[in-house]
């Protein structure tokens, strides 16, 4: 018997069960909690921020605030700055900060027609009240992006700006908070079923499992150890969901799998 010399068929790559770093960063940046840091500015609050459909990072700040003042006093009108966006868990956790994104670059103030056009682009993505006072107490700034860094679960990921801008926020970003709060407050049985999907060897006596996150790939749970540390785990859906309308069927299938099957399935 002779050994075959045909090359072995390639093994298919495993399907991802989590968002890419760029997608996760875009989702975090969709959160409202943001501050600007620059020379002499430790963390000035931003009234609103967004990434427009054409890839501009825009900020609304008070015209008489320290950020806008620092931009005006720059010789060339560009202020080296960092926009820090923080993602907080919607349910009570020992450590409520889920992730942070640092966007570094140069801030420039917009005025006249440039500000008007940018405000319209901003409103298409995030129609916030702060835009109504642009030119009358608020100023629009644009951040020329140089670096993007995501910090999450004790790890740090550097993301190419073009990859960040090409990604999109998770399709469940608008419904995640309500869904997690509802799960935490009204559905202890379903939370217990999600806990049952965690390998038993990862759980110790006195550990508490809390809902941490929800995205198109599934749930994230946090194991809060009795000794003070924690561990984050993913409980994936059977496949990624594409919209909020697909969420309920995906959760139903996941719960059926946790129960070992459902009538009629």
Q: What fold characterizes domain 21-166?
A: Pnp Oxidase; Chain A (2.30.110)
Pairing outcome for strands 79-88 and 34-38: antiparallel
Give the separation between CA 4 and CA 8, rounded to whole angstroms.
10
- Give which of 186, 179, 239, 228 is closest to 206, Cα–Cα: 228
Report which secondary-structure segment, H or E, holds 21. Answer: helix 21-29
Q: Is the alpha carbon torsion for 126, 130, 133, 135 positive or negative?
A: negative
φ, ψ dihedrals at 144, nearest 5°? -75, 110
For 89-191, strand residue ranges (E) read: 97-109, 138-152, 155-159
The CA–CA distances, whole Å, from 62 to 48, 58, 112, 130, 245 equal 10, 14, 17, 9, 38
Query: Residue 76's pLDDT is what?
Result: 87
Sign of CA dihedral 244, 175, 173, 56: positive
At 264 the pLDDT is 62
Q: What is the pLDDT of residue 25?
A: 99
CATH number at 176-259 = 3.20.180.10
Q: 7: buried, middle or exposed (CB in 10 Å: 19+, 13-18, 0-12)?
A: exposed
Helix H or strand E encompassing 62: strand 57-62
pTM of the model as a whole: 0.91
Identify which of 209, 193, 202, 199 has the alpha carbon closest to the alpha carbon of residue 261.
193
Domain boundary assignment for the chain: 21-166, 176-259
| Residues with pLDDT less than 50, the chain | 1-4, 6-13
Q: Decide if 21-166 and 176-259 have a common fold.
A: no
């Amino acid at each position: 018997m002779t050994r075959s010399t045909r090359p072995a068929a390639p093994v298919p790559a495993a399907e991802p069960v989590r968002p890419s770093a760029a997608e996760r960063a875009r989702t975090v940046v969709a959160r409202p909690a943001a501050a600007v840091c620059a020379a002499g500015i430790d963390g000035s609050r931003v009234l609103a921020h967004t990434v427009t459909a054409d890839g501009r990072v825009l900020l609304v700040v008070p015209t008489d605030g320290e950020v806008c003042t620092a931009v005006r006093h720059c010789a060339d009108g560009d202020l080296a700055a960092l926009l820090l966006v923080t993602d907080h868990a919607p349910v009570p956790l020992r450590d409520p900060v889920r992730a942070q994104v640092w966007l570094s670059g140069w801030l420039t103030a917009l005025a006249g027609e440039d500000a008007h056009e940018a405000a319209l682009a901003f409103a298409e993505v995030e129609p916030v009240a702060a835009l109504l006072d642009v030119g009358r107490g608020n100023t629009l700034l644009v951040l020329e992006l140089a670096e993007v860094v995501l910090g999450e679960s004790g790890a740090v990921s550097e993301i190419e700006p073009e990859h960040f801008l090409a990604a999109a926020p998770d399709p469940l970003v608008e419904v995640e908070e309500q869904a997690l709060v509802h799960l935490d407050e009204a559905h202890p049985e379903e939370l217990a079923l999600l806990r049952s999907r965690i390998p038993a060897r990862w759980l110790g006596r006195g550990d508490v499992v809390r809902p941490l996150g929800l995205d198109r790939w599934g749930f994230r749970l946090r194991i809060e150890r009795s000794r003070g540390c924690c561990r984050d785990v993913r409980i994936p859906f059977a496949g990624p969901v594409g919209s909020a309308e697909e969420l309920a069927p995906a959760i139903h299938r996941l719960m059926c799998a946790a129960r070992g099957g459902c009538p009629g399935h």
